[in-house]
Amino acid sequence: VQRSSDLETDPQLAHRNYFRPLEHQEMGTVPYAGHQFRIRGYDSGPRFPAPVLGQHNEQVLREILGMTDDEVAEAVIAEAIL
């Protein structure tokens, strides 16, 4: 029986390039798991590392919620967002 710690050295997963190392902003190089299946000509692995807390807050507030720059600045000053 394998342990989860054995996965990174599993020969079959290594052969399939299952893990993709990506550079995380706070944790350095991290192996991210890919998909269990492959489609020829399609990049099926993760393309970006996991976001850090609050990384996309301003983008979401502006582009999705329609807040103005002043409204976002007020929310930051009020410590309502990171």
Task: Look up residue 43 and give its two tokens.
Answer: 């990049």
| pLDDT tens track for 12-70 | 999 988 999 999 999 999 999 988 888 888 877 788 999 999 999 999 999 999 999 99
| pLDDT tens track for 34-47 | 888 888 888 777 88
Parse the chain into domains and list their residue ranges. Answer: 1-42, 51-82
Residue whose C-alpha is closest to residue 46's, from 59, 35, 58, 61:
35
pTM over 0.85: no
Helix (H, G, I), strand (E, B) or coil at 79: coil
